[in-house]
Structure 1
Amino acid sequence: MLLWINGPHGGGKTQVAHEIHGWLPGSVICDPEYAGFGLHRMLPPALRGDFQDLAAWRQGVVEVLDLALTRQQGVVIVPMTVTDAGYFAETVGRLRELGHDVRHFTLLAERETVLRRLRERGPLHHLKALAGRHREPRGESWAVRRLDHCLERLAGPEFAEHLWTDRSTVPRTADRIAVLAGLDLAPHRGGRLRTRLRQTAVGLRHIRFD
């Protein structure tokens, strides 16, 4: 089975994916963003646009995920934003055509909720939070510029199943996806502090400097 977790940038996809992975023995995370950044680095900066526009990315994602699903015994978890219906058909749709059991979920939230999450995932957020300082997301950041577009597109029926996360924690959202997908997560251990430390570690590992 493949769990594709969609949603706007800053919507919590990566955190939820790692939460499920942490409590689902045998599962693996396959992040198509790595392939996209690799393709970006092959191009001169002036030619770097949205890597999803490259057919090589879409075809490569299908090829790699098909291989993982064929050879990997456990669940494959994919946290990736896809808002173009055609690209969605070329990736998620194509994997289904190949006979794979693909469960797709879109995490949605109100605009202000996503903006807050974008601010909190910033490279210096955790250090500034300890010092009692916070910063707003830069208005020119790519994720913020794309936010309204993402929320509008992802609300469409082709991107169901939709899960609203404004009032849901990462563990609760992970549990909900597991129930909907028919998966049994291992019992959660530890309290809020351990959960916060785990989420902070995931956030630090996924800081992007590109």
Structure 2
Amino acid sequence: MLLWINGPFGGGKTQTAHELQRRLPGSVLCDPEHVGFGLHRMMPPELRGDFQDLPAWRQGVHDVLDMALNQHDGTVIVPMTLVEPAYFREIIGRLRERGHDVRHFALLADRGTVLRRLSERGFGHAVRFVAGKDATLRRESFAVAKLDLCLDRLREPEFAEHVWTDRLAIPQVADHIAASTGLTIAPNTDSPTRRRLRQAWTGVQHIRFD
């Protein structure tokens, strides 16, 4: 089975994916961003845009996930924002056509909730919400610029299953996904403090400088 964890930037995809991997024996996490960053490093800076627009990225992600599903015995977990319907069909649709069991979840939340989460990550490289306007700082500007598009697109039926996370902690989101897919995951035994430390460390590991 492949679990594709979709959602806006700052919506909790990566944290949820790591929580599932931690509690699901034999699972593996495959991050399509690595394909995109690799392609960017090969390109002159002036040619770098949204790597999802590169056919090579979409083909590469499909091929790697197809191989992982064919050769790995456990669940494959993919945290990735994907909101273009054509790209969704090109990757997820083709994997399903090849007979793979792909379960897709879009983690949604109110705009204000996502902005708050963005402001809490990245050691101050964050988003301020002042007088109804977004003021972006450094690496989160792309996330904010794409926020409304992501939230609008991901509400569409083709991006179901929708999981509203405003009032759910990350372990509860993982529990919901496991219950929906029939997977048995280990119980969450983290204390609130340990959970915060674990999630902070996951955030540190995923700070990008590309």
Q: How many pairs align?
A: 202
Deviation at 1:32, TM superposition (A): 0.2
Deviation at 1:46, TM superposition (A): 1.2
Q: Structure 1, residues 64-104: CA drift from partner, whole Å, max 9, x if none?
A: 00110111000000000000000000001010011100000
Q: Structure 1, residues 169-192: CA drift from partner, whole Å, max 9, x if none?
A: 000000000000100011222311
Q: Distance in 2 between matches of 1:139 and 1:164?
A: 27
User: What is the SS of the residue equivalent to 1:194?
Assistant: helix
Give every structure 1 segment of 4 or more consecutive aligned residues whose post-TM-superposition deviation is greater than 2 Å. 134-137
User: What is the SS of the residue equivalent to 2:4?
Assistant: strand
Q: Structure 1, residues 137-164: CA drift from partner, whole Å, max 9, x if none?
A: 6167111111111111111111000000
Q: Distance in 2 between matches of 1:74 and 1:169?
A: 25
User: CA 1:200 to 1:139, structure 2 compared with 1: closer, same or farther past 3 Å?
Assistant: closer
Q: Distance in 1 between matches of 2:127 and 2:155?
A: 28
User: What is the SS of the residue equivalent to 1:186?
Assistant: coil
For 1:83-94, what aligned pairs fall within 5 Å after superposition?
Answer: 83-94=83-94
Unaligned runs of 5+ in 2: 129-134
Residues 21 and 29 of structure 2 are in contact (CA less than 8 Å); yes or no, is this contact kept in structure 1? yes
Unaligned runs of 5+ in 1: 129-133
Residues 115 and 127 of structure 2 are in contact (CA less than 8 Å); yes or no, is this contact kept in structure 1? no
User: CA 1:105 to 1:135, structure 2 compared with 1: closer, same or farther past 3 Å?
Assistant: closer
Q: Distance in 2 between matches of 1:29 and 1:120?
A: 24
Percent identity for Structure 1 against Structure 2: 63
Q: Distance in 1 between matches of 2:47 and 2:54?
A: 11
Give the TM-score normalised by structure 1. 0.93
What RMSD over aligned residues (CA atoms) do the two structures have, in Å?
1.5
Q: Structure 1, residues 39-66: CA drift from partner, whole Å, max 9, x if none?
A: 1111111111110100000001010001
Structure-1 residue corresponding to 2:60: 60
For 1:1-210, what aligned pairs fall within 5 Å after superposition?
Answer: 1-122=1-122, 124-125=123-124, 136=128, 138=136, 141-210=141-210
Give the TM-score normalised by structure 2. 0.93
Q: Distance in 1 between matches of 2:200 and 2:190?
A: 15
Q: Distance in 2 between matches of 1:165 and 1:40?
A: 32
